[in-house]
A = this chain, B = another copy of it.
Amino acid sequence: MENVRVAHWGLGAMGGGIARLVASKKGLESVAAVDINPAKIGRDLGAVIGLDRQLNVAVAPSLTEAMAGRKADVLMLATSSFVREVYPQIIAALDLGMNVVTIAEEMAFPWANAPELAEKIDAHAKAKGLSVIGTGVNPGFILDTLIITLTMGCHDVKKIRAARINDLSPFGTTVMQTQGVGTTPEQFAAGVADGSIVGHIGFAESMGLIARALGWKLDRIEQSKEPIVSNVYRETPYVKVQPGMVAGCRHTAKAYMNGEVVMEFEHPQQIHPQLANVETGDYVWIEGTPSLSVANRPECPGGLGTMGAAVNVIPHVINARPGLITMADIPVTHAICGDVRDLIGQKQV
């Protein structure tokens, strides 16, 4: 069997890491790459992502140029968090005959925030006989697929609480700004109000995915973003936080059904949480028959986990029925230690 041919769109921290992981896997081969950064265009993909070998793929400024005269089985799309921004990119990829894996957070369950575009993607993918999926560490794994899996033995579920408590220290300027790190409490409130401080993107998607899997009809989802005001000095290469300033964003969400809270998720993200004696981890509490109380400490790292989930889902998106699919529609996604081609079957109908 030929290698699975992989195209890449977006070679930032995540997209570049995905390309490095693809290069390490038996049975996968990168055949095309797109990025808008002039410093990357025209160079060999291997050099751009920091490998010490050539991949014989020149980074192109557009998908059309990247794919000229070649075909790929799947596009790894890492350009944006939002359905409205990746929508035309997904359509272009489908028109070029590729299945699509994207780490755009909203694409984990695009019916939450962009139902019309979700339906258009679904119809277009079906017409082309191809599949599109959104994944990542969160949404995609910790606060949805893992929770759904944990209910496997449950006779009923009354309520799900979960928390993902992580460390933002490794991230760069963009994340500091979108999480409000280094602001004053007043600047934080203004940033939330004007939409520049977004916190976590994914609560509505994770909760929507869980509700659809379990068969819950939600009334509404309420979210709140509060500043994590530091008592101590904290600093990273990208930001300095004096005591009294904001070290991160405590983003929470509640999902209601029949007027009752049935899901309550918390995702406080800050730099150097250990300086405030906060232990990082992923936590899930399922109240039902039986109840479960699960902790993963420390948390599954966001960057590594997102790259891993995106690459590990490649065989599933190739095998899947055509259309827009979710992590709850496909077989369990897992680490691939052998040849990826061993997991490729006949595409479902």
Contacts and interface: CB of A to CB of B under 8 A. Distances in A.
Given A145-B332, A332-B149, A307 B215 contact: no
A151 to B, nearest CB: 4
Which of A21, A294, A301 has the largest number of chain B CB atoms within 10 A?
A294
Interface stretch (A75-83, A90-98, A284-292): A284-292
B152 A337 contact: no
Contacts of A113: none
A289 B309 contact: no
Contacts of A311: 155
A334 B149 contact: yes
B156 A337 contact: yes
A148 B149 CA distance: 11
Given A304-B155, A335-B152, A294 B293 contact: no
Contact of A335 (B156, B338, B343): B156
A115 B48 CA distance: 48
A237 interface: no
The residue among A151, A213, A307, A334 with the most chain B CB atoms within 10 A of its own CB is: A334
Contact of A149 (B137, B145, B288, B349): B145
A30 interface: no
Interface stretch (A2-10, A264-272, A323-331): A323-331
Interface of A: 21, 24, 137, 141, 145-146, 148-157, 213-217, 288-290, 292-298, 300-301, 304-309, 311-312, 321, 327-339, 342-343, 348-349
